[in-house]
Amino acid sequence: MSQAEDLIVIIDYGSGNLRSAEKAFARQAQKRAVLVSGAPEDVRRAAHIVLPGVGAFGDCAQGLRAIDGMVEALHEAVMDKGKPFLGICVGMQLMCRHGLERATREAPHLGLGWFDAEVRALDVAAPLKVPHMGWNEISVRQDQPVIGPLNGQDVYFVHGFGAVVDDGAQDDIAAITDYGGAVTAAMARDNMLGVQFHPEKSQAAGLGLIERFLAWRP
C-alpha cells in the first residue's frame, strides 16, 4: 500500500479542538499516517476521510466553505471516487441537505446535501434537557459493517440538534437512540457514514467503531 493509500485525513476547518479525535484515530491507525489538515489536496489523496464538528451548524458550514476548494475536493473524493467517509456530530449534520440552527426553513444554512435530511432542534419534554448530553444506547437499523456491532451499546452524545430524515430516505438511517422519542444516531449509504455521537469519547465502543471504519473498504 502506498503512502497516499495509507493516509487518514481529519479535516480541520476551524470547528474546534481536534486533539481528542486525532489521538483516538492515531491509536487505532496501526502505523498508518493520521493527518489533521485543512488542505483540499490532502483530502483528495486520503484513503479515509473524517469530518468532525463542534458548535453551530451554520458556523461549521461557513468554515468549511471558507476553505477554497474544500467542498469540491470532498465531493470529488467521496461522491465521485467513493472513498470511505465518516462525519462526526456536526460533521454528520453537514452531510444533510440543510440546517435550521439560528436559521429559518425559508433561509436555512446549506449542508453538503449527501443525505435527504434536515437538521432541527431536539424537541423533548421535561425532565429531559437540551442539549442531550451523556451516554445513550443505540439501536442499529442497517446491516452496516462499521456501525452494526454497536447495536445495544452505549455511546456518548453532546448535541442540541438532530437530523430528521425525509420520509423517502428512511433507509439511510443506520441507527437511532431514544431521547424522548427516536433520534437519528447514525446515517449511512454506500461509502458514507455519519454518527451523531462522539466515538472518540465513547471509550471501547467508540474505539471499536474507529477501528472498523479504518478497515472499511466499501
Q: What are the pLDDT digits (tens) for 85-96?
A: 999 999 999 999
What residues does 161 pair with on adjacent strands? 121
Q: How confident is the model at residue 210 (pLDDT cuts 50, 70, 90)?
A: very high
What pLDDT, on a 0 to 100 scale, did the predictor assign at position 102? 81
Q: How confident is the model at residue 58 (pLDDT cuts 50, 70, 90)?
A: very high
Report the distance separating Cα 114 and Cα 125, nearest Å. Answer: 31
Share of the chain above pLDDT 70, in %: 98
Q: How many residues does the chain have?
A: 218
What pLDDT, on a 0 to 100 scale, did the predictor assign at position 106? 86
Give the residue-averaged pLDDT of 23-45. 96
Q: Active-site residue among 48, 89, 101, 211?
A: 89
| E strand spans, the chain | 8-11, 34-37, 48-51, 85-88, 96-99, 109-110, 115-121, 132-140, 154-159, 161-165, 173-178, 182-189, 192-195
Lowest mean pLDDT among 7-11, 92-96, 121-125: 121-125
> Which amino acid, residue 82?
G
198 catalytic? Reply is: yes
Give the residue-averaged pLDDT of 93-118. 93
Asked whether residue 22 carries a pLDDT value surpassing 90, the answer given is yes
What pLDDT, on a 0 to 100 scale, did the predictor assign at position 3? 53
What pLDDT, on a 0 to 100 scale, did the predictor assign at position 101? 87
Q: Active-site residue among 22, 101, 118, 200?
A: 200
> Are 136 and 122 a contacting pair, CB within 8 Å?
no
Asked whether residue 4 carries a pLDDT value surpassing 90, the answer given is no
pLDDT tens profile 169-199: 999 999 999 999 999 999 999 999 999 999 9
CA count, 13 A, side-chain hemisphere, 74: 27
Structural domain including 162 reads: 3-215
Radius of gyration of the chain from Cα atoms? 16
Q: Where are the alpha helices (DSSP H) in 46-192?
A: 57-65, 70-74, 90-93
- Distance in angstroms between the alpha carbons of the first and the last residue of the chain: 17
Here the CATH number for the domain that contains residue 101 is 3.40.50.880
SS3 (DSSP) at 205: helix
Asked whether residue 17 carries a pLDDT value surpassing 70, the answer given is yes
> Which amino acid, residue 65?
R
Closest by CA to 88, choosing from 24, 164, 5, 168, is 24
What is the phi/psi pair of residue 94, to 5°?
-65, -15
Q: How confident is the model at residue 5 (pLDDT cuts 50, 70, 90)?
A: low
pLDDT tens profile 67-81: 999 999 999 999 999
The domain tally of the chain equals 1
> Which amino acid, residue 142?
Q
The per-type count for the chain, helices as H runs and strands as E runs, is 7, 13
> Which amino acid, residue 215?
A
Report the distance separating Cα 165 and Cα 163, nearest Å. Answer: 6
Q: Active-site residue among 48, 109, 159, 198?
A: 198
Instruction: Kindly state the cell numbers that stand for 152.
Output: 445495544
Q: How confident is the model at residue 1 (pLDDT cuts 50, 70, 90)?
A: very low
What pLDDT, on a 0 to 100 scale, did the predictor assign at position 36? 97
> Are 201 and 98 a contacting pair, CB within 8 Å?
no
109 catalytic? Reply is: no
72 catalytic? Reply is: no
